[in-house]
Each structure stands twice: as structure tokens, then as C-alpha cells.
Amino acid sequence: MGAALTRSAQWTAAGYGSGTLERTPLNEEILKEIIVFVEHFIYKYPHEAKFVFVEPLEWNTDLEPSAFESGYIVSETTVKSEEVDKNGQPLLLLSVPQIKVRSFGQLGHVLFIAKDTKLKEAQACIEGNRDPVVKILGPDFGEMKEDSMALHILNKISTGDDPENEIKMKIAILLKQLDLHLLNHSLKYISLQINLNPKTVKKDIELLQRFSGKGEQTVLESIEYTSDYEFSNGCRAPPWRQMYGEICYVLVKPHDVEAFCITCSVEGVFLNGGKTDEEGDIDYERKGEVYKDLVTFLKEKSAVFSENMSKQEITFNEEQKNQIEEVLTKEEAAVPQKSISSPDRLKKNHINFVKTQMSKRLEPSLNWRAKVDFKEQKNLTKDSQEEKHGGKVEKSRTSISHGKVQLRKSVDKIEETISESSSESEEDEEQPDHRQEANADLPSEYWQIQKLVKYLKGGNQTATVIALCSMKDFNLAQETCQLAIRDVGGLEVLINLLDTDEVKCKIGSLKILKEISHNPQIRRNIVDLGGLPIMVNILDSPYKSLKCLAAETIANVAKFKRARRAVRQHGGITKLVALLDCAQNATEPAQSSLYETRDVEVARCGALALWSCSKSYSNKEAIRKAGGIPLLARLLKTSHENMLIPVVGTLQECASEENYRAAIKAERIIENLVKNLNSENEQLQEHCAMAIYQCAEDEETRDLVRLHGGLKPLASLLNNTKNKELLAAVTGAIWKCSISKENVIKFREYKAIETLVGLLTDQPEEVLVNVVGALGECCQEHENRVIVRRCGGIQPLVNLLVGINQALLVNVTKAVGACAVEPENMAIIDRLDGVRLLWSLLKNPHPDVKASAAWALCPCIENAKDAGEMVRSFVGGLELVVNLLKSDNKEVLASVCAAITNIAKDQENLAVITDHGVVPLLSKLANTNNDNLRRHLAEAVSRCCMWGRNRVAFGEHRAVAPLVRYLKSNDTNVHRATAQALYQLSEDADNCITMHENGAVKLLLDMVGSPDQELQEAAAGCISNIRRLALATEKARYT
């Protein structure tokens, strides 16, 4: 292991021999391989595992003596193994904290006892024993570096008298093989990494400098090198640091955190110790994790950088793409097109490798753009928890020499996959391919299955059928059996059998494929081998048993995007929808006997496959166009749960699309969904509730749920708190149904609000989001706000304001704001410091959270006892609110204007926000067509006019003429707010002239006759001021 530890392992700056292993992915890979070697040693080589080391391996361990059980003599601070050498010395001796081990068998036991900390133990062992081979076999083995030396030592062992020479020789060979394996594994690992180079780092820094400065929209305040001198290789790090792969050091000053110094190296970007105070030298030691590039590092460290970068990223990526394409064009021009000699070919391969790496570096920007397009065009992206549930664009695996062609292929790949739905789950991520380790200890079933596969390959029809039947008798749900079939080439044989004319062989093959396709690796292999098109063709077979098996297998395989796309592209969706058209009598009352018929089973399998396929947008459209909705609606009338679960599951997936929701109403599916909420099957209840949740965005659907009696079973299902998936679906359905006031009244009758308050604690976030959303809708009514307070719901709601989940924060701010309408509730919120928490959410990077927090602050300020003093008590709070008027989000602007309207009711606060420049910022927003923003902007202008010379300032900033145009809106609320603002502004003569010139008088005269009394008074008052000015001007002219 010496060569691997010196050449491949990454040690700290102290170097090999006195430093420690760094916490890097490569070191972790090396340690894992060593652990696997030691763990398997005792089983593969039991005789050699008993060999006693020449010297014990010593290190400091974290293992406690109590962890050692049978086979050891244990005291409070020491442990001795019962296994001893020929001198009676124990092969394992633990004297806390030091441990000494003298055989591979005992090393394996230590790793077994360590369990989750085995990686840490292995690291401590390697650090404590710099040359383990010498300690295991003796000093003669410390120089096995060259082949000649190795042969010399082997010759010495073979001619010696020591009876253990043969064992030593075998162990030496095994350790040498491990050393070579570690070197090869490290080389393979390193070759897969995309290293940075000076040119790439320089381009990134230059681009970031272009987007940096003092403005609000810039990504950074500044970014600069620590050294102006650039070496000929492009590096700025000193030569003695370039030996460690370091390229340069950069000082970065973000907008929201303190300045820091970072190191750019070929391995990535990381934080260093910064400049020392005394001499200004750099502390080169790494202080955190290594990131793949500069932008990724800065996004992690600065929220403002991440937010502003998201606005600039398209421009940034275009710049980056253009620069790299320039490099690729130059390199392509440098490569001759004629025949190339061997050295030149190596050079060309190197150039191609560089291009491929550069192309890969471009892929994140392309993926980001694809996601933006997808969001704008399909509007299907959901909460980031994609993180957990986000559909990801597959990266192109093909490495080609020409960078531009690589980019074109990446774009084509993205265009092909942007139609995939964001509802796809973690299963969509293709799992890494794990092969069974050669010569690993495997159960006998593994070898027996491999023998059967050989019969499948070479036997006649009878032998093939017998082999298939024998294989089916094994436990195919066990991963070892599944991988045994794959490892010996069994999948290819099984798929080839599907192309034969023998029905029995097809049935046997599909039965096995159906079982083993639950394994993610097998699923991917089936797609790679072209199995899906064959299965799709079998759906046309006249044999119903074949149709069933093929559809079920497709259902298992279509768990990731590439498989779903393959099913659609080969016409599978249309054929699966056709399977739903089972016997007409299958849904009649006398179906109990008919259900067992093959027709109904075919329909069930077809629904199962459509359920898996319906996780992509394109497939949903294909199902709808193939006439799947009426057939699903008909099958929904059956009383058999095996049929209902896949049918409802498919409808639930498809109900995220507006076209489907309209069709679901037209086919009267809601009635059957409500009926199945009373089922005893929790999985069926979950999918029905989730389908209602998806459909209840529409008011008519919410009314149908109530009319068909669906609210009561939903309320009763809230008591099932053990099944979290069911609870999340039910609370989601209640949330959406609560948007209608009539439904809220029913929920109050069923005591659902009290139950929802009880679910505000000790629940997962997916449940809390829906519970808080439902309470936010229910608390729009006075009676429900009282219930929430009486049940102690205010405190848990306020406690949730400190979370980080965006969807939860949006809902909880709305709920707290709704509760704050009641003065008693507001007193509790104020006592719990809820207003300060809401105010702090105005700094959240997500616009939806900012807007929701600002809306919630309005009733808090309005109903607080001493609102003015409370608002002033928040240090920097008023400046923060005013600065939010610079946002680009219309909802944030409208909510902040509403908050300013309430803040400005206090004269001192109005004076403060005036000093912070509220007037020019409000004036700048006046040219808008958004009626919601118009209304609250006009109200804010009206309030702000009541201080100093703000009326005059609004006129100077040209806010009056745009306000007059608001009177042409169709919204009465906008008319009222605008008339009040114009009334206040008309106290200034210049503003009156501007209003008259822009035709305000005629518009206001029409509003004097409005039934809205406030609008009448404001319009009349404004006309009065304009008329008074005209009379005064006329009088002055004649006198």
C-alpha cells in the first residue's frame, strides 16, 4: 500500500510522514477500498487472516471497551483478545485510547465493531502506521518498489528456512495487488474529475468583476487578486504553492457578509485563512469544503450573490459560453486536417479531452436555461425541495472532440427532455451501476441461477421452459438473485426470448422480468438493451396473459424519464390506453364474478403502467389525446381496490394539468373520488385526497366536493396521524377546499379547525405546509380566529416563523396575518415577538416570502396597541421596508406599499420614511398597469402626502399624471384609492394644473355619482380644489 499512500493519497501541507490525511473525496475512496479489502480478507483467505504481524499496528481509537463482546477479555479501560500468538501475547490489545492489532482477522473484527465509524478508524490506522506493509511483513518488504527488488525478495523468501515464508509471500502478493488496485482506482477517480485551470479561473474572475460594484443589482461589491504578478503559466500563486496545485488567491467582498480570501486550485475553490494582520501574508491552510468552481462557492457563502446572480446568470453564462467557444475555435484551427502521426495523434487526443471537459463545464448553464424556459412555457416547476422533487435535465454522456458539436448535442438533449414533469420523484435519478465483486463470498443461489442462465442460452425449447420455471422458483425479490441473472448475461437472453414465437417462453421470460425489474439497476439495463420496444409490441398480442405481464413489467421499468420517453416514442401510451377498454359489464353491480376475468385484469395492468408513465407532461398529453380520461372515469366506478388504486393514482398525477381538471369535471369523476374517501384502504384514500387536492384549485370542483359529502370524510381522516403520507394528502385537500367560505363553515361544524391546530407540532414539513395553509384560509373569518386562539394555536404558528421552508413560510405568514386581525390575537403575537420575526422575513431571498410577510405586517401594525413605537423599535426596519420598493416583483411592491400605508399613519414614522426617500421611490413605480399595485401605491401616496412638502415632491417627481390614468381602470378599489391620493395632491397648485391638463376633472365628475361614499367625497374634494384654483387664477387675472 506504500505507493498508493505516497502517490495517490492527499496529505496535509506537512506532507507524508508527519501530516494527516485531508478530508477529500479521493482519500475517502481510498479508505473505503482498504476497508473492503480488510473486511473480505477473513472470508477469502481464512488461513492468511491468522498470520501474526511482525509488529502490531497501533493507533488511537474512539472505540469503547464495552463495544467488545465474545472472544475478548474486557475490563473498564482495557480489552484483550482471547486469540493469542505462540508466545501467549493477545492479537488485540486496547488500552484506552490506544489500540494494538496483530492480525488481519482482528482488524476485520475492529471494523465490524466500529460500524458507522469504520471510516474514521481506518483513517486513524493509516495515519498512525505510515508504512503498514513493513509492520505486517517486516523491514525487508519496505523497498518493494521496482520489479527487480520484488523478485530479489521473493527469491530470498523461497530459499529461506522460515515456515511462514509461503504465507508471507502470499500476503505480500495480495498487498501488492491491493496497492495496484488503489493506484488504478485513484487514477480512474481523478480522470473523472473536471479540474480547473488558470485560463478558466481568470475568465470567471474577469466576468465576475464586470458584474461587481456598489449598485444594488451587482453580484459583489468587489473581487480582486491578492497579487498583480502573473507567471508565464497563468498562475499567480508563489511557485512553492503551485506545487500543491494552487493557481491564485482572491479577495472577495460580498454585499451581505464580511470580506474573505479564497484559494483557486486545480482541485477546486476553497476558503483559506486570509491575510495575517502583521505582515499581510496569506494563511494558505484550507478552512472549509472544496467547491467545483468560483460561482458555486460564492452562491453558498452569500445569499445576496445567489439572488442577484440568478438575475444576471443568463448574461453571465452567455459571456462564459462565448469565451470558451473562442478557445475551442482557436484549438480546432491549430489541429491539422490531414493524416496525423502517432505523437500528433496523442496531442490531438489531449486537445479533444480539453474540449470535452470545457463542454461539460458549460452544461450547468444550459441546464439552468432549460429550467427557466420550462418554467415559463409549461409552468410546471414546484417547490425546490427538487430538490428533492424537481425534474432534472439529463446530462449528455457522449464525449466528442468538437466543442461546438457537444454544445449543440446538449441543447438538443435539453429540448427533448424539457417536457418531463417536475412531479417526478427521486426514483427518476438513474442509480449507479454496481457489479458484484469478483470472487466475493456469495450465496449458493447466485451460482445456481448462473447455471440456469447457461441452459437458457444453449438449450432447446423444452430445456428453456424448464430453466425459466426453475428460475422462477428462486426468491427473485432478493438483490443477489436479480444481479446474478444480469451479471452472467441473463437479461439479454430474457429479452431475446420476448422476440420468439413461443408463447410459453415469452410468459416465462416476462414473469421473471416483472419480478427483477423492481431493482433500479435492472430497470436501466432493460432500457439499455432495448427491452421496452419489444414489450410495447407485445401489448398488441392476442394473448391476454402476455398483455398483462408486459404492462406490469412496463409499469416497473418506467420509473425514470428515459424509460417513460421510450414508451411514448414507441407508441406505448396509445396501446396502454386501449387496454383500459375492458368488458362493458366490468363496472356493473354484478361485477364480483366478472372481475376475475382476464379482461378486467388486463385493464388493471394497463392502468398500472399508465400510472408510472403519467409522471411526465408529454405522457399526460398523450394519455388525454388517446382518450384515456373517459376510460379511467368508467373504471373508477368499480368497487375493487386493486383496480381503483392505479386508476386514481393516474388521475392524481394527471390532475396537475388544467386540461385534465376540466375533463375530470366533465366526466363527473369528483363524485367517485369522494365516495372512495370512505374506503378502508389507506393507499386508496391517500390518492383520492391527493387528486382532490390537485383539482380543488377550481371553485366549481370545491363546490362539488361539498355537494357530494366529501368534507366530512376529509375531516375525519385528520385523526389518522400515523400515516404521514395520507395525512399530507388529506391536509392538502382540506387546504384547497377551504378557499371557499361555504366549505370553511362545514369544516367548523366538523371540528376540523381544532384538529388542524393540534397538528401544528411534531409533524413533517409536507404536512405542516398544508395544515398552516388551511388555517390561513379558515382564519379569514372571525369565529375561526377565536377558535385558533382558544385552542392555543397562536404560539405554534409564531414558532414556525423561524423555519427555512419557503412554502411553509409563505403559508405561516398568511395565517399569522389573518389571526392578527383580532386585537386579542395581536396582543399574543406581539408578546411572542411575532412582529419582529415577520419583519426579519422581509430579508428573505425568496420574493413570495417577502410579499407574504409584508401583507401579514399590515394587520399587525393596524391592530397593535402602540403601533408607531413598536415599528420604530425595530432597528433599521423602516429603511428595510423603503428599500424593498426597489424590488422587481409586483407582488412584493404591492405588499410593501400596503405596509407603508399602515406605517405612515404615525407621523414620526412618516417623517423617518420620508428621510429614507420614500417619495421618489413611490413616484418611480407610478407607471404601472397592475391594478393590485395601483391600488396600494395610490393609498401609500395618499398617506405620505400628509407630511411636510411631500405633496410638492410627488409633483416634482412626476407622479401625478400617471395617477390620473388610474381613474380609467375597471377596478372600483383602484378608483377609490386614486381619488383619495389625488385629493391630497390637489392641495398643491402645480399638481392641480397637472391634473387638469391630463383630463382628471371629467373622470372625477363621473365618480361623484358613485354609490361608494368614500369615492364620492374624495372625487368631489379633488374637483373642489381644482375649481378653487381656477377661480383664484381668474380673479387674479381681472384684478
Mean pLDDT for the stretch of residues 518-545: 90
Answer yes or no: is pLDDT of 202 > 80.
yes
Closest CA to 929 of 891, 972, 969, 884: 969
pLDDT at 356 exceeding the cut of 50: no
Residue-wise pLDDT for 273-285, tens only, equals 888 766 678 888 8
Whole-angstrom Cα distance, residue 845 to residue 889? 12
**Helical residues (DSSP H) of 473-590, grouped into ranges:** 479-487, 490-497, 503-516, 520-528, 531-538, 544-557, 561-569, 572-579
pLDDT in tens, 796-811: 999 999 888 899 999 9
- The one-letter amino acid code at 4 reads A
Q: Confidence band (pLDDT; 50, 70, 90) for 159? A: low
CA distance 329 to 349: 16
Q: Please, are residues 595 and 638 in contact by the beta-carbon 8 Å criterion?
A: yes
Q: Is the peptide bond before 65 cis (omega within 30 degrees of 0)?
A: no
H or E segment at 57?
strand 57-60
Average pLDDT over residues 136-163: 56
Q: What is the pLDDT of residue 768?
A: 93
Q: Which of 348-352, 697-701, 920-924 has the highest mean pLDDT?
A: 920-924
The pLDDT score that the predictor gives to residue 366 is 29
Q: Please tell me the predicted confidence (pLDDT) of residue 3.
A: 58
CA distance 218 to 253: 12
Total-model pTM: 0.58
> Locate cell 415632491: which residue?
953
pLDDT at 737: 93
Residue with cell 421552508: 805
Q: What is the arithmetic mean of pLDDT over 872-901?
A: 91
* d(C-alpha 818, C-alpha 394), whole Å: 43
On the question of pLDDT at 728 being above 90, the answer is yes
pLDDT band at 550 (very low <50, low <70, confident <90, very high): very high
* Residue-level pLDDT at 133: 85
- Per the CB < 8 A criterion, the answer to whether 830 and 816 are in contact is no
13 is written with which cell numbers? Answer: 501541507
Report H helices in 696-764: 699-707, 711-717, 724-737, 741-749, 752-758
Residues recorded for the chain: 1039
Q: What is the pLDDT of residue 372?
A: 34
659 has a pLDDT exceeding 70: yes
Q: What percentage of the chain exceeds 70 in pLDDT?
A: 80
Mean pLDDT on 556-573? 92
pLDDT in tens, 270-320: 998 888 766 678 888 888 888 888 888 998 888 888 888 877 655 555 555
Residue 686 and residue 677: Cα distance in Å, rounded?
8
Residue 428 has a pLDDT of 47
DSSP 8-state class, residue 271: E
Cell readout for 491 is 437479461
Burial tier of 17 (Cβ tally within 10 Å: 0-12, 13-18, 19+) = exposed
- Amino acid letter at 199? K
**Nearest by Cα to 392 from 360, 361, 411, 368:** 368
Which of 193-207, 522-536, 946-960 shows the lowest per-residue confidence on average (mean pLDDT)?
A: 193-207
pLDDT digits (tens, 9 = 90+) for 980-1014: 999 999 888 888 888 888 888 888 888 888 888 88
- CA-atom Rg of the chain in angstroms: 36
Q: Are the beta carbons of 890 and 854 closer than 8 angstroms?
A: no
- Separation of CA 470 from chain center: 44
Flag whether pLDDT at 857 surpasses 50: yes
Which range (142-156, 632-646, 695-709) has the least confidence? 142-156
Q: From residue 408, give the alpha-carbon distance in Å to each of 360, 362, 402.
A: 12, 11, 10
Among 103-117, 573-587, 628-642, 830-844, the range scoring the smallest mean pLDDT is: 573-587
Parallel/antiparallel/unpaired status of strands 98-101 and 92-95: antiparallel
Mean pLDDT, to the nearest integer, of 932-945? 93
The predicted pLDDT at position 425 comes to 44
Position 160 scores a pLDDT of: 54
- What does the block give as the cell for 77? 479501560
Of 155 and 23, which is predicted with more confidence?
23
Confidence band of 795 (pLDDT split at 50, 70, 90): very high
* Residue 883: pLDDT over 50: yes
Q: What mean pLDDT, rounded, does the chain reach?
A: 80
Q: How far is CA 315 from CA 49, 311, 403, in A?
A: 61, 9, 20
Instruction: Tell me: pLDDT of 388 over 50.
Output: no
Higher-pLDDT residue of 400, 133: 133
Rounded-to-integer distance, Cα 553 and Cα 831, Å? 59
